[in-house]
Structure formats: C-alpha cells, structure tokens
Structure 1
Amino acid sequence: MLSFRFGHFVALLTLSAFCRNCAVSAAELDFNRDIRPILSENCFYCHGQDGNQRKADLRLDIRADALEYGALEPGDVESSLLIERIESSDADLLMPPIDSNRKLSDEQKQALKQWVAEGAKYQEHWAFTPPERSALPQVSDKQWPRNAIDYFVLHKLETEDWAPSPEAERHALIKRLYIDLIGLPPSPEAVAAFIEDASPDAYERLVDQLLESEHYGERMALPWLDAARYADSNGFQQDGDTWQWMWRDWVVRALNQDLPFDQFTIWQLAGDLLPTPSIEQQVASGFNRNHLLNGEGGAIAEEQRFNVLFDRIDTTATTFLGLTMACAQCHDHKYDPITQQDYYSLLDAFNRVPETGTPQRYSSRIRLGNPVIEVPTEENKAKIAEFNQRISEAEETAKPLVDAAYLGWKSGIEADGQPADAADLPPAAQEILKKPAGERSEAEQEELEKLLKKHFDEKVRESLVSSIAAFAVPDQLRSQLASYTADNIPRPMVMSDDKPRQSHLLERGEYLNPGLPVTFDTPKFLPPLAPEAPRNRLGFAQWLVSPEQPLTARVQVNRMWQHFFGNGLVKTSEDFGVQSEYPLHKDLLDWLAVEFRDSGWSMKRLNRLIVTSATYRQSSKMTERHREHDIENRLLARASRFRMPSLLLRDWALAAAGILNQKVAGPPVYPYQPDAVWEALAITKERDFTYPASSGANLYRRSLYTFWRRTVIPANMFDASNRQACRVRLAITSTPLHALTTLNDPTWIEAARLLAERVTESGTQPSEYLGSAFRRVLCRTPSAWELELLQQALSKQLAIYEADPTAAQELLSIGSTECRSTAPSEELAAFTAVCLGIFNLDEALTRE
C-alpha cells in the first residue's frame, strides 16, 4: 500500500524520484507544498485571477471566493463541490474537463480530500512572503557540518534516512574549484602542492586565492551574459555590430571587485539616474540595452520600440524577481497575481528612453540605437592624439598656401560684386562690394572680410584641392579621423530618461490600441514602494533590493546555488511564481537569502560560504540508491556531476595546451569558425559579411570574448544561448553530437597537437608524455590500467600514421600555430590523436 507521505510528494509533480520512497508521516498537509501545485496545474487556468478566461465565475485561488461559491466546505469532504466534481463519473461534470488534457491522479485526489478534511486552509505563496532566518536545525552527526549550510542539508538527509557522501578526493576538489570559480585548469604543480598540503586551512586558502583571481569575474560573468541576452550584434537580417562589450567588461570588473549586489542591481537598472553618474555607472545601465534591434526596411519603428519595451520588462522581471510577466502584457496573469495594470505600471518606468525602436547607422558595420555614450579606450585616445598632431602639422605646412590662395581669389573680386569665380557670394557681401573701398565703414569692411573668408572656406577652397596638393592633406586627415572615430571609438548603448511619455495599458497588448493611462508603480501583490522613493527606474531598482522585497535575494542565491550544483534549490530558477517548484530545502534557501542580504550583499562571501561547506565538498560518485531514488541530487546526499558548458570546454583545452591568451577584457575576437559562416547574411551589397578571422594571440582568447553574432552564434558553442532572450536556467546538455565539435573543431585539434608538443618536452618515455598530458587535462595521475590503455591507443595511432604519412602531415597542419616539435611527424600525429582522445574523455568533459 502506498504510504500517505508518498501521496503528499506526488502532488508536487516536479520533485525527484527519491520522494517515492519517503518515510511514512502523518504530518498535516501544507498548502504551498502539497495542494497549490495541484490547483495551479489543473484548475487556475479556468478558475484563477484572469477574468477573461474564468469559467462559471469561480475562483479557486482565493479561499473566500471558493467558500462563497460552495466549492469548498472546510471539514466536510462530501459537501464540497470541488471533491464532487473531481470524482464525477459524468464526463460533462468531471473536472478537469476531459478536453483540457489534464487528469488528476488518485494520489492527487486523495490529497485534495484530506486537505478539505483538515479545513481547506490556504497560505500566501511561499515566495511572496519575506524570507526568515530560522535557527539551525538539530543533527545527530555533530562532526560533519562545516558551516550553517550543512546543518540544513544534514537535517533533511537524516529525516529521510540518508547519509552524506564522503569528501571528494583532493584532486577532484581542486579541479571542481577551478572549474566553478575561474573556469580554467590548475597546473600539475598546483594540484601536487594542494594534495601535499596537510595544513587544516589548505582548502580555504585555495578558495580565497581563486576568489581573488582576475579570472573569477570572467567565470561568474557567463550566466549574467545569458540573463542580459548580451551579444555583439543587433540580430535580424542586417545584424549590425554594436559596442556592448563595454558592458560585458564592466560586469567582469564589478564581479572581480565584489561590487555589492544591491549596487550591482541599481547600476544595471538605473546607473544613469544616480546623482552625477560616472562613466561606469552609465555603461552598467547597458544591461537593458542588450536587446535585439530591428533595422530591416519593413520594420515599423514604434512597433519595434514596444517590442524592445516588452523584452526589457521580461528580462528585468526574470533576472531580478524570478517571475514570468510576459502574459500580463495582454491580460491578467493566469497563475500569478500579476495584473495587466501591474505590468504597464512597471513598464512606465522604462518608457522614457529617447529611442526610436530602430538602429542608426554609425559606420559600414555599426548600427546603434540611441542613446549612446562615447567611451574612448586608451588606444583610441592615443590614436586620436596622433591624428590631431598630424593634422596640426599639415595645417601648418598648408597655411601659407591657403593664405596665398585666399588673397589671390579675393583680389579677383570686382567692385561691382560680381567676381568671375564667386558669382554666388552672399547678398550681404555683394551689397558691401558695390561700395568703393574708400566709402566703406570699418564695420562694413570687417563684415565683408568675415563673409568672404567664410565663403572661401566653404565654397571655393575645396575646388582648389586638386590643383594644390598640400591643401588636401589636412582635409584628408580629418576625413580619416572621422572614419576612425566612427568605426573604432566604443559607443555602448545606455539608458536615459530624457524623453518622458504618457504610458497606457495596451488593450490585448497591441501598441496601436492604448487604453487607460498609467503611471509607474510596483506590482500590487508585493510590498509597496517607499513613499520617499523616486517614481522611476531608480526607485524601482532600490525597491528590488529593499529589505521588504521578498523575491530578489531568494532568486539570486538560488541562481548561485544552481551554478555550483547544476540545479537551484528551486529548480525553476526562472519562475518563483505559483507554478514554481516548491523548494525541498526551503529553510536553507531562506536562511541564505537573509544571510546574503544582511551581510552586505557580498557575492564573493556567499560563494565562499557555499564552496567551503561539507555539502559542496562531497564526492560526486553515485550509489545505486542515488541512481534509483535521487537521480537529480535534490537531497544533496552527494556533489553534483554535470557536463561542462562548451565555453569552458574550449578554454580548458586551450589552457591545458598552454596556448590560452589570458588577457582580461577588450573588444571581441574572431576565433576559428567554419568557412563562409556568415555568408547567408550577405543578401545585399550594403556591407561585407565575410568572417574577419583573428590571427595570432587573439585566436586563443577566452570564449567569453568571442564575437557573438545573434543570427549566427559561434558554431563551436554548441549548448550556448542564442542571446535573443533572457535565459537564467542552465542548459546542461549531453549528446553524442557534441563530439562532432570536440573531436573535429580546429580549436580542439590544434590544442591536442600543442599539448602533445608541450608534454614531449617534459619526459623521455612515452609513458611520461602520456601521464603529463593526462594530468594537465584531468588534474590527476592515471592509474596503471589507464596508462596501459593510453599506451595501447598510442601504438595503434602510430601504426596508422606510419602507414599513411600524408594523413599525419594533414593532421599536424591544422591550426595557425606552427609546429615546434622536432619529433617525427608520424609520432607527433599519434600523440596528437591520443591527446585529442584525452580531451574527449567523459571525465575531461565533466565537472565532477
């Protein structure tokens, strides 16, 4: 017989399989955990807050309405219409209706009956109530916890009759930390030093070292780029380039500096509205300018402006509130208590940007939507100074010639004001010229000189350029300077409130169908904006990080947890609304949220707390019980094991090969891509869409700096977001198709060759070479069995290439870096093939 506890958890639908063997419990049902998911999934669509969709004028999301209607009779199961309808044998009366494609399980029906019997109690949705820091729970094993996180995790494990896993081996721990905190492999020397360091604080010192690395910000910026839909182009067919990489670099700097998250939020949403905002604060506001821009000929500017506005609301709400607000654009939300009025009242704060909805052309490749801010780099400043110096020198050289030409031209002016070469003199000049020179007043003579000089500079001088070459030099240099500044000085798009507009609720979300006027306000179901707060984006941003606001801190710590464990404590990291997953570790989530907020919003501090916990330090090895009952590791009885994202896999290979360019920040680069990868974009001759492949060290920059074209994302970033919309949930994928990249992409093949060259310098025997390559990629020494397999693979590959030397030469010719090895090509090709195999081992592709 199924236990009652099992029935409770089945109602949650989204919890992991471990719940199917939970211990029997007679605890009272919890509405948020056990009942709301059933009602939300099966009932609220027709009996929720959306009045346009509501059937029979019945609301089940509000207890008073359900009681008044007779749907619920607390304590009386038989008299409750809700129970009658879900048990009905009449297809016309059965709920949910057959044509809804929803069906309650027997366990869900039983849960609803028990809930009614227990009084049909409602609760406010857990995520919309302020988080509270509960006391640390009691645990039996007093030795295992290392910090507060472990008390919550261990208490849950002990309650469910589980035990934590042993601590991971030292080599696995250092590899895990390097992946999670900086995204680069440790050197074999760093691994050896950590393994040999027996001091009690060795692990904590390693954590602190990585948190202070300049590469920490690069690693932690990756999920923010996906959330902000960051790209280096606008999207759509014309897909003009932008300078939004200035915002990307700001994110890296802010994370490295541990800018408190409340300021990190305010700068991104309203940095431009701060008193005397700095350049950095204005650049930070580019978070909401990373959107698509449609510059196609048929695009209607105002329609596109509203598309941008809608995207801006969706991105901001998902990123900071963990809410999906998009459906409230057209009608009241069908599940969450978000009304259309709420949606457009919030939109009003973003409806003041002086933007047209379409991009403006700045150069042959740059298309930007105003407003922008000019942020010359040091290189730009030096180049501009060089141009100005050359212009000044050229003007000095040309000045005598210009003066002589002017005097010669002026002398040709006749007294009647009709000179042969200046018949279009301004009327005012002609009137003065009609007077003999001796009869003109001093003021008239000065005015004439000014008019003639102006006319000469604007109308005459240009026609003399072809005949006097020195004339042309300053103008040519000025033209070159204008072209340089248009194409090279970064102008990131930023926010501004310079164009206040009257916002309206749009009927059915149609921009041509404005309804009632609205003014800025925050959603009514959440704590109100402080009376003294500014009624604009700045006020909204400050409200987001106010102590009363229940969502922001929870949403952010959940995404941090997701970074380190693959899943958030709430798996639906993009949705904390009533259809979200109820968090199994809710007390831990709330404790972390309060800790994060009350400890100064330090992201590094919270990261350190997580990675120094015993929970994080567990082995990721799975037992049969893990596999059968907690495959997703929701109980946290082990560390999580998941595929590394493609951006990190590329960086890992380049770093292991010793070729990674570790320069931080700067314009995007263009590493290896398939031939003619952008060719499909070149439908007109307006601009050249030839892929401008980088060379030298720029080929080996971190993946973070790869040029991101929205319409054709980098081909070797196989699991990455296309950055066309906000994405906050990790896309962890594992498909054999990925091997087409990691086995065939020039990046990996060249890295394998360079790794082979690198390790052949580290020993005298093949076993030493293979062991060194293995350590650089996997951060551990191969076992005797593994080394034997590697040697067998090397022997097979050597036989293949000795039989086909041309194939060896072809393999070694892949990539731009010249071969440095003096080893025979067949031997180097064989080592290259084995190194490529090491890069493709499951352990090399996986964060364990």
Structure 2
Amino acid sequence: MPLNLLRIILTVCLIGFFLSCQEKESGVALNFQERNEISYNFHVRPILSDKCFACHGPDANKREAGLRLDIASSAYEALRVNPEKHAIVPKDPGSSEVYRRLVSDDPGERMPPPESNLHLSQEEIDLIKKWISQGAKYEPHWAFVKPQKADLPKISKPTWPNQDLDFFILEKMEKAGLSPNEPAGKATLLKRINLDITGLPPSPEQISAFENNKDKEAYEKEIDRLLALPSFGEKWAALWMDISRYADSYGYQDDNIRTQWPYRDWVIHAFNKNLPYDQFITWQLAGDLLPDTDKEKILATAFNRNHKYTEEGGVIEEEYRVEYVLDKTNTFSKGIIGLTMECAQCHDHKYDPVSQKEYFELYAFFNNTPEKGYEGDVMQSKPAKTPILWIEKEDTEKILDFINHRDSSRLMVSVMEELKVLRPTYILDRGLYDAPSTQVSPSTPSAVLDFDPKKYPKNRLGLAQWTVSPDNPLTSRVFVNLVWQEIFGQGIVKSTGDLGMQGDLPSHPELLDWLAVDFMENRWDVKRLIKQLLTSATYRQSSKVDQKSLEKDPENIYLSRYPRLRLPAENIRDHILASSGLLVKEIGGPSVKPYQPKGLWEAATSGRGELKTYKQDTGAMLYRRGLYTFIKLTSPPPMPIIFDGSNRDLCEVNRGRTNTPLQALVMLNDPLVLEASAFLATALLKEEKSPEIYLETAFEKILCRKPTSEERKIILTYFKEEKTKFETDKETAFELVKSGNRPLNEKEINGETAALMQVITMLYNLEEAITKI
C-alpha cells in the first residue's frame, strides 16, 4: 500500500479514535455523604423524585391513596386509607409505612409496585431509613432558596487560587483525594482564551508575542483586549441564538423566509457593549413597556417572537395563536429561570411544585399581544408577523446604528406589543386550545418567589422585574451556570435548563450560590463574570490526564484538569476560515447561504415560496462566520447539525457532543475545508520560503503551536511524497486545488500547491485542530 494512502487511512482512524476519547457528558453520582447527616435535598429527594413522585407527588390528578411525599405535612399525617398509620414517622422507620413498604416481601404491599418496573437499590433504602431515623427533616428544594455567599472554604494549598472560586474547587478536589494539574503552557492558554472569548484562533504572530511577553499581567491584559473586540459579541451571541430559538424561516410545511436578523445584530451589540444581564433580560421580555422605550428596546422583544409560525391554509387561527403563547412561556421558563414547566400545560407538574393554574398564570403574561395565529398562506407571506417594528434607513444611522443594513429599504421585525383591552386567560383543560375552564390572572410560581401585585405590574414588565429581582433564586444561578457550561463544557448543574426536582444536583452548590450572588452584587456584569472564570487557577490548568485522576474522576466533575472540548459547530467553521485567511470579518447583517449538498431544501419543502430551492451565495458572503449561516427550520444546515448544532426548533440551552464518522467525513470532504486548504497553500507559497518554513507556518496557524521535531519530519515527508505524485499527475493537482468558488490564478496551481494543500487538509483533520485543550 502506498505510504501516502496509508497515512490518509491512519489519519481517519486517528480522528475516530481521538473523537471517541473525548470526555462524555457527566452522569457520575457525586459524593455528598461527606457528613454523617443525611440531607433530604441531596440524598433523599432525588430517590423519591425518580421512584415515587409520579404517584405521590405534586400532581393531584395522578396521586394515589391521597398520599403526597414531596411535602412534610402530607407525609407526616395519618394515611387516608388507614388513619392508624403514617407514611413517615420521624425517628421511627419501623412505624413508617414508606419504609415498611420498601422492604416488604409481599408483592401486593411492596412499593414501588412490581408492575411499575421501578426498583430501589439496597443503598437507597438504607439512605431513606437513615434519614427517617435522623428525624426525616424536609428541606425546600435547593434551587428555590435564595442563594447566599458562603465563606471561602479552608484548603491545604492557599497559594494555588487566583480567584475566590478556586477555593471551592480545590476544597472538593482535596476531599476527593485529587490534586490540581500544573498550569497550561502560554500558547495553549492563548488559544484557549481566544476561542472562549472570540471563537477565533490566535495568529502565529500573536502567539509569538504572548510567549515572549514577560509582563506578569500579560495574561490578564490579553483577556481585556479580547473582551473589547467586536468578535466577542459574535461568539457569545451564538449561545443566545439557541436560547431564543432564532431562525431565518417560519417552519412548518411551507417554511418561508422571515427577517428577524436585526434582533441577532442587537444581541451581538448588547454583548459587545456589556449591557448588564438584568437589563438584557428586561428589554427582551418587556422593552416595549418601559417608560423610556425606544426602537432599540422594542427590537429586543423580538426574543419572544422567534418561534415557528404556520402559513398553511385551513388551520384554526386560535389553535396556533395558543401554540405561540405556549412557546413563549416555555422558552422563558427553560431559558431564563431554568425550569421545565411545559408538562404543567396539561396537568399539575409531576415533580416540581408548579400547578396547572400557576402555569397558565405565567402564560397570561404573554397572552395579551395582538399576535395572530394565522395571517395568510405562503403566497401572501410577509417577512414579519403582526405586531411589527418597522426599521427605517435613518434608524440604522442613529439609534439602531449597530444594524448592518446596506440598502435603503425598510426592514420588518416581529416584536411584542400589548393589547389595549386585556385578553382574558383561562386554564386550558388538558392543555387544549378549545377547552377553557377557570379564568386566571398573571402571576408566577409561588414556590420560586411570590409575585407581589403591589410591587410589580401585572404585565410583562412586572414579570421582567420579578425575574431580575435579587430575591429571585433562579435567574442569576441559571445564567452563571450557562456561562460555566460554555467555558468548562458542563454546568455546575449539568441539566442546564432544569434546576427543578428532576434536574441534576449541583456538583459545587456553594460555588454556584457564591457566583450567583457575586454576579448580582457586581451589577450583573457579564464581561466581569467571564474574566473571573478565565483568570482562575481552575481554568488555567493543563488538560493532561493522569491515571489517578482518570480513575477517581473519569468525568472530571472535580475539575482537577482542564476539560478537552470540541469546538461548537459555528466555531469549527470560524476556525477554518480564520486560520486559512478566508474569513470575512464583517459584523452583523442578513444570514448567508454557504456550500451545502444539492437537493436538501428541495426534499424538505412544499415547493412554494422564496425558500423552495437553495440559492447558494457567492463572493464574500461564502466566508462569513458560522453565526450568520442561514437556518431554515425544516432543513437546517447539515454541517452544523453534524457537529451538534441546534436545529432551533425550540429553546435549547445545552448542546450534546456526539462522535460520529460523519464528522470525520465532513472534515475530509467539505468544500469549505478543501477551499480553505487550497487558499492557505497558495498564500504560503507566494512568500517564496522553504518547505520547512511554510509547513511550520501552516501547522502554527491551524494548531496554534509549533510542531515537535517528530511532527516536522512527518509532515515534511508527507509533503514530499504528495509533491512527487502531483508533479506526474498535473490534471489531478489542478482539479484538487480548484475546490470551491474562489477564483485562483492558474499559474499558481502546480504539484507543490496541491501537495501543500493535502498537508493542510490533513492538519485540519487532526482532533487537536478543532478542540479546545
């Protein structure tokens, strides 16, 4: 077998191997039994929630025997079916029916019943017994308790922390018998902070300058420089696009085009000017209701209008209008306060203390807009739905100067507006649009925080004020957890969109609360929070894995090393464009249509409307950042989806990280990768330097470090082999280098260009190229 073919095969195999070695998302049970005392929140409630609450929880309609185990008053009282007995008798497991049923050998008595296919392990039964013996003390759910700033814990290595958060990390690490990794090298750290702040790689010149900078504050100054770049807003806007379910089409069958992209420009602008998070949320929920409202604040309310819309004839308008309000309600609950409330649309929540009544009280805040369920079919489609914000050319030169709009036409964006006459809201029986029952007024779940009508108006502005109140236990926790997830790959609470009863327990509860309070104390400053994490000793660790830490903490819950994380889908594209020199750094503007396989749109369309066929863009628009890729809901762009990008159908707060052979095939065959490789090869050869120099430059641009001596030998040998092959097969060399749509000077296309292109393609296919390490 020819050596070059063998190397290609080995490259593909290595990609699969390295991808398969990426850390899986955590499911490790955490050691909360450091003290002898059993905690209801951290030991008992998770068991009851998984195994018991479906029949003995908050949902009154599904409750068996009238027994409710999620609150103390019900669990302690006499059983309805047998008043002489009690479900739980504090300090007396033997007299507690719950424990007696758990250990019973009688199938007719044993709980959970055998037909439920649920089973408690002996360890779980022992925990419940011990908890009852200790007094069966109930606690409010941790996430519904206002966070408090704990004192910094005592640690054995007080010189290690760079930030207060490091104390909490090191304490847990030491209790688990682990030690922190050594600091990462300067080149690795520079790549890491560039990718986390801007989503773009550093250049070889930046790496060299940083490595040679002896200033003790060089690292912090570099973070400040990066936070001030316009690309910061682009990187962090991608997270909010998933949460706000931003897309460029309406969804459903006809799926025509819409123009919500000025909202995306606003999100980029908001992150770049460091709009405090409490204002960021308030403007999006209720910017139109603020006393000093203007077009910018109204534009922010497009957050609520990014959901799907139908343009199919024959639909029932009220059915879809209700569907849109439900989507707004669910997006708010999941994306902003971190609760999965949608099941309460049909019945009381089975796990969280949220009744169906409370769900529709929250729904009522969003139910008072002139939005319609149906405005006409695709042949009458408009790029925005009622109510509409009209953006004039003069607006983009004044208050909305952050909007990238090149021509003089008016823009239309779907935004929020209140009805002049209040629309009544009803609990919908089983969640059905045509089954209204009891009328309700706007309010919020009391288990989270009471909605005081004397303090807050009963409209979206009141909801926004309630949401960002320092007494709200969820909002700050949820956002801090999201930022932690973006930087460390997994939230302190793994279930980022669910801090409720069925969500994961926080790995570092005191740290989460400390950060949440600190964030509010410092005026909800987003850039400060990110800098806080990036300057920590926890963040600056090497990602090297030793056997001891791998065995004790395979999923890196205790962060004794920096996690190796594949880049988000958008940033994989950005890395290829930036490192090759193809990237067009224009900020904002309409979405673009890059390369994608033929026929995808045509296979998923009704054959009507502007988007019935895919019209690929040309020129500079082919080389925009991944944030700007056009998203058609019925046929999302394939490359981002293959790399776990969101399809934007619904609010999404946590992308998975899968490993499939398709990802390797994309990196080997995508026209963008091939075109970028050819473009970089041509650019390097124009410098007329030796192969050793331009091969090393290519390596540095793509992997953000210098190659080792062994790596130099490998890529030089491969280059020479490929050059020999292409010099005798000029036709193949020509076809290879002509990949993509960018015009090339045919005089520049030769065996050397094709060989260098192959080396560059191989470098892009290394796991390290698309991984933050």
Kept in 1: contact 2:147–2:516 (CA 8 A): yes
Q: Which of 694, 718, 743 is residue 793 of structure 1 equivalent to?
A: 718
Give, in angstroms, the shift of residue 76 of structure 1. 1.4
* CA 1:29–1:493: 2 relative to 1, 3 Å: same
What is the CA–CA distance in structure 2 between the aligned matches of 1:62 and 1:817, rounded to whole Å?
66
Q: How far did residue 98 of structure 1 move?
A: 1.8
Tell me which residue corresponds to 2:180.
Answer: 164
> Cα offset for 1:732?
2.2
Q: Distance between the aligned counterparts of 1:813 and 1:366, measured in 2?
A: 40
State the shift of 1:748 in Å: 0.8
- Measure, in 2, the Cα distance between the counterparts of 1:219 and 1:607: 13
Match of 2:12 in 1: none
Question: 1:322-353, CA deviations, whole angstroms, 9 ceiling, x for partnerless residues?
Answer: 00010100100000000011011111111111
Match status 1:67 vs 2:83? no
CA-to-aligned-CA distance 1:556-580 (integer Å, 9 cap, x gap): 1000000100000000101000111
Establish whether residue 28 from structure 1 lines up as the match of residue 37 from structure 2.
yes
Superposition map of 1:73-472 within 5 A: 73-360=89-376, 366-377=382-393
Distance 1:152 1:822 in 2: 61
* Cross-structure match for 2:435: 513
Q: Distance in 1 between matches of 2:671 and 2:428?
A: 51
Code of the residue aligned with 1:517 in structure 2: it is: Q
2:653 to 728, 734, 758: 728
Name the amino acid aligned to 2:565: F
**Structure 1 residues 104, 834: closer, same or farther in 2, change over 3 A?**
same
Q: Distance in 1 between matches of 2:33 and 2:149?
A: 28
Shift of residue 370 of structure 1? 0.5
Report the AA paired with residue 737 of structure 1. Answer: L
Separation of aligned partners in 2, 1:28 and 1:326: 35
Q: Retained in 1: the 8 A contact 2:255–2:611?
A: no
Counterpart position of 1:491: 412
Report Cα offsets for 1:37-68 as digits up to 9, x if no partner.
Answer: 00100001100011111111111101121111
Contact 1:232 1:241 in 2 (8 A): yes
Say whether residues 1:813 and 2:734 are aligned partners: no
* 1:346/1:522 contact within 8 Å kept: yes
Residue number in structure 2 paired with 1:454: none
Per-residue CA deviation, residues 789-822 of structure 1 (Å, 9 max, x unaligned), is 1122223333443453322222112111122474
Q: Does the 8 Å contact 2:46/2:501 carry over to 1?
A: yes
Conserved? CA contact 1:234–1:367, under 8 Å: no
Matched residue, 1:529: 451
Match of 1:549 among 472, 484, 505: 472
What aligned pairs does 1:410-809 form with structure 2 within 5 A after superposition?
488-498=409-419, 500-530=422-452, 531-684=454-607, 687=610, 689-717=612-640, 718=642, 719-762=644-687, 764-809=689-734
Give SS of 2:487's match.
helix
The DSSP-based 3-state class of the residue aligned with 2:315 is coil
- Structure 1 residues 193 and 820, CA, compared in 2 at 3 Å: closer, same or farther? farther
Q: For the structure 1 residues 782 and 822, does the alpha-carbon distance in structure 2 shift closer, same or farther, using more than 3 Å as the test?
A: farther
What is residue 470 of structure 1 aligned with on the other side? none
Distance 1:730 1:686, change over 3 A: closer
Tell me how far 1:253 sits from its aligned partner.
0.1
1:684 offset after TM fit, Å? 4.0
- The residue type equivalent to 1:704 in the other structure is L
Distance 1:578-1:601 versus aligned 2 partners, 3 A rule: same
SS of equivalent to 2:413: coil
Q: CA contact under 8 A between 2:353 and 2:447: conserved in structure 1?
A: yes
Q: Structure 1 683/128 Cα, relative in aligned 2: closer, same or farther at 3 Å?
A: closer
Q: CA–CA distance in 1 between the matches of 2:519 and 2:565? A: 26
Partner amino acid for 1:331? H
Letter in 2 for 1:491: M
Q: Indicate the residue corresponding to 1:391 in structure 2.
A: none
CA distance in structure 1 between the partners assigned to 2:591 and 2:584 by the alignment: 13
Distance in 1, matches of 2:397 and 2:585, equals 24
Superposed displacement of residue 825, structure 1: 1.9
Q: 1:26 and 1:380, CA in 2 relative to 1: closer, same or farther beyond 3 A?
A: closer
- Residues 1:674 and 1:25: Cα distance change in structure 2 (over 3 Å): closer
2:751 to 808, 826, 834: 826
Alignment match, 1:39 = 48
Gaps of 5+ in 1: 1-13, 383-483
Paired residues of 1:217 and 1:254 also in contact (CA < 8 A): yes
Check 1:794–1:598 CA distance in 2 against 1; reply closer, same or farther (3 A cut).
same
Indicate if the aligned counterparts of 1:18 and 1:628 stay in contact, CA closer than 8 A. Answer: no
CA deviation after TM superposition for structure 1 residue 92, in Å: 2.1
User: Is the Cα contact below 8 Å between 1:16 and 1:631 reproduced in 2?
Assistant: no
Q: RMSD between aligned alpha carbons?
A: 2.0
Q: Judge conservation of contact 2:75–2:87 (CA < 8 Å) in 1.
A: yes
Count of aligned positions: 730
Cα separation, 1, equivalents of 2:625 and 2:554: 33
Structure 1's 840 and 818: CA in aligned 2 closer, same or farther, altered over 3 A?
same
8 Å CA contact 1:228–1:288 kept in 2: the answer is yes
Change (3 A) 1:839 1:542: same
Of 176-185 and 795-804, more deviation after overlay is shown by: 795-804
SS of the residue 1:515 aligns to = strand
In structure 2, relative to structure 1, the CA distance for the partners of 1:634 and 1:110 (3 Å cut) is same
Q: What is the TM-score normalised by the length of structure 2?
A: 0.91
The AA in structure 2 aligned to 1:537 is: R
Residue 529 of structure 1 aligns to a residue whose secondary structure is coil
1:379 shift after superposition = 11
- Aligned residue identity for 1:831: L
* Higher alpha-carbon deviation: 748-757 or 789-798: 789-798
Checking the alignment, whether the CA contact within 8 Å between 1:504 and 1:517 is kept in structure 2 is yes
CA contact (8 A) 1:238 1:681 kept: no
Do 1:325 and 1:338's aligned partners in 2 also have CA atoms closer than 8 Å? Answer: yes
Larger radius of gyration: 1
TM (norm. structure 1) is 0.83
Letter in 2 for 1:354: P
Range moving further from structure 2, 164-173 or 629-638: 629-638
Structure 1 residue 627, shift from structure 2 partner: 2.2
Counterpart for residue 452 of structure 1: none
Match of 1:406 in 2: none
Question: What's the CA shift string for 1:763-806, capped at 9, x where partnerless?
Answer: 52212121100100111000011111112222333344345332
CA deviation map 1:614-649 (0-9, x unaligned): 111111111112322322211011111111112101
Instruction: Spell out, residue by residue over 1:71-123, the C-alpha distance to the aligned partner (whole angstroms, 9 max, x if none).
Output: 11211122211111111212222211222222111111111111111111110
Contact 2:737 2:749 in 1 (8 A): no
Which AA in structure 1 matches 2:324? V
**Could you give the per-residue CA deviations for residues 821-841 of structure 1, whole angstroms, max 9, x where no partner exists?**
745522211111110110110
Cα shift at 1:680: 2.5
2:461 partner SS: helix
Q: Taking structure 1 as reference, are residues 29 and 645 closer, same or farther at Cα in structure 2, changes over 3 Å only?
A: same
Q: Is the contact between residue 256 and residue 609 of structure 2 (CA under 8 Å) also seen in structure 1? A: no
Structure 2 unmatched ranges of 5 or more: 1-24, 80-85, 399-406
**More deviation, 69-78/335-344:** 69-78
Structure 1 residue aligned with 2:21:
none
Aligned to 2:9: none
User: Residue 839 of structure 1 aligns with which residue?
Assistant: 764
State the one-letter code of the partner of 1:283: L
